[in-house]
Amino acid sequence: MEKKKTRTQLYRINIIHILIIITLITFITEIIVYLDLNLSGRLSVTPMNYLIRYIIIPDAVNIISIIVALWVDYSESFSEKIKNYSPVVAAGFMSLGIASSHNFFITSLCGTLIPVILVSVYGDRKMIRNITIMSYVFLAIATIIAKYDSQKTYKYLYIDSVVIGIIMAAAYLCGITTVNLVKENFEEIEERILKEQLLTEQLLHDQLTGLYNHTAFYRCLEKEIEECEKAKKKLSLAVIDIDNFKRVNDIYGHENGNIVLIHLAQYMKEICEDSSVVCRYGGEEFAVIFPNTDREKAKEIMETVRRRFERHNYMFMPQHHVTISCGICEVDLNNLDKADELFKKADEIMYQAKNSGKNQVIAI
């Protein structure tokens, strides 16, 4: 399958298409002018000399420039930076060809401004500088050719060339200023997006444990239920509560109670699979979403968590251990529950574990 083209690639192709149209228009115009001058007897040179100088040579330059630009753009041997240069340089050579061959129209020298205008879109200051230098060189070459052209008698040639050079400098400065402004705006937007992402992360995470919070839990659970419905994959939910946690807080203080919460969160993050979503539902209650997992596998994982957590020794209560009770339910693919209904089922199973002795995992 062909890759979707980027905006820059499309811009390059559009420039080449415009150059092709300019070449066709220029060729048709030159033919019409030639026929008019030839039929009216106003040709100052022989028909062959006129055709070579004003039609064959400039159009050959145009066609070769376009072919080279197309070859560079479609070749895999060149970098994106060189490809960006190719249509702009082609436009420069075309403007030089037109300005040199049709120098009896002083406005043809203005064509050397076109590359400077085209390159600004890329937003590359170095590229704008290089193309501007190229355009100045082409303007100088076209001016010299016009000066020594035997048919050229326009006495304000140098003044016009200087004016075009000043306009070119203005175009360069406008391009640089635009690039700087766009870059500043982009940096501001990027900074704002990062701040919003950070704020969103903070709103969805529990500050103490770093786990997803109550809000994020329901968002994740709803999403997993939708995926479960589409792909017909298994889904299990575990609800965990720390046994006698109020007693820990009352006897040892809330700071030590926070240590217990943090340790449980760490064990669940370490033991649960990467695809699992571990959340702090609120207070001493936690929940784990197990995508593509049946209740037996979820029970096996939570049993490991329960045993590890139970064996943990705390410096502030060396003679005691803290335990958890856990209830697990599996989604019925034939009768999908809503997120709150699924949580309620797992929560009820968790209370069964508490009421039947605590420190155990029950999966139904």
The model scores a pTM over 0.85: no
What is the 3 state secondary structure string of the chain?
Answer: CCCCCCHHHHHHHHHHHHHHHHHHHHHHHHHHHHHHHHHHCCCCCCHHHHHHHHHHHHHHHHHHHHHHHHHHHHCCCCCHHHHHHHHHHHHHHHHHHHHHHCCCCHHHHHHHHHHHHHHHHHCCHHHHHHHHHHHHHHHHHHHHHHHCCCCCCCCCHHHHHHHHHHHHHHHHHHHHHHHHHHHHHHHHHHHHHHHHHHHHHHHHECCCCCCECHHHHHHHHHHHHHHHHHHCCCEEEEEEEECCHHHHHHHHCHHHHHHHHHHHHHHHHHHCCCCCEEEEEECCEEEEEEECCCHHHHHHHHHHHHHHHHHCCCCCCCCCCCCEEEEEEECCCCCCCCHHHHHHHHHHHHHHHHHCCCCCEEEC
* Residue 206 within any structural domain of the chain: no
* Residue 197 within any structural domain of the chain: no
* Residue 196 within any structural domain of the chain: no
Question: What is the distance between the alpha carbons of residues 195 and 285, in angstroms, rounded to a whole number?
Answer: 30
Q: Domain of 336: which CATH number?
A: 3.30.70.270
The answer on 131 and 38 residing in a single domain is yes
Number of domains in the chain: 2
The answer on 218 and 174 residing in a single domain is no
Question: What integer pLDDT is reported at residue 318 of this predicted model?
Answer: 83
The answer on 284 and 163 residing in a single domain is no
The answer on 179 and 268 residing in a single domain is no
The answer on 229 and 93 residing in a single domain is no
* Residue 280 within any structural domain of the chain: yes
The answer on 52 and 93 residing in a single domain is yes
For 204, 284, 298, 330, 347, the CA distances from 335, given in Å and listed in that order, are 29, 30, 20, 11, 19
Question: What is the distance between the alpha carbons of residues 172 and 166, in angstroms, rounded to a whole number?
Answer: 10
* Residue 133 within any structural domain of the chain: yes
The answer on 346 and 268 residing in a single domain is yes
Residue where a domain terminates, one of 154, 188, 222: 188
The answer on 148 and 57 residing in a single domain is yes
The answer on 257 and 145 residing in a single domain is no
Question: What integer pLDDT is reported at residue 106 of this predicted model?
Answer: 62
Question: What integer pLDDT is reported at residue 153 of this predicted model?
Answer: 53
Query: Environment class of residue 190 by beta-carbon count within 10 Å: exposed (0-12), middle (13-18) or buried (19+)?
Result: exposed
- Domain limits for position 222: 214-363
The answer on 236 and 146 residing in a single domain is no
* Residue 200 within any structural domain of the chain: no
Question: Strands 235-242 and 324-330: what pairing?
Answer: antiparallel
Type of residue found at 153: T
The answer on 255 and 135 residing in a single domain is no
Question: What integer pLDDT is reported at residue 1 of this predicted model?
Answer: 47
The answer on 117 and 260 residing in a single domain is no
Question: What integer pLDDT is reported at residue 208 of this predicted model?
Answer: 93
For 16, 89, 117, 131, the CA distances from 114, given in Å and listed in that order, are 13, 10, 5, 10
Return averaged pLDDT per consecutive 10 residues of the chain, 364 residues in all: 72 90 89 87 82 87 92 90 91 85 67 83 87 89 76 65 84 84 81 79 86 92 90 92 94 94 94 90 95 93 95 88 95 84 94 94 92
Q: Is the dihedral of CA 290, 222, 342, 269 positive or negative?
A: positive
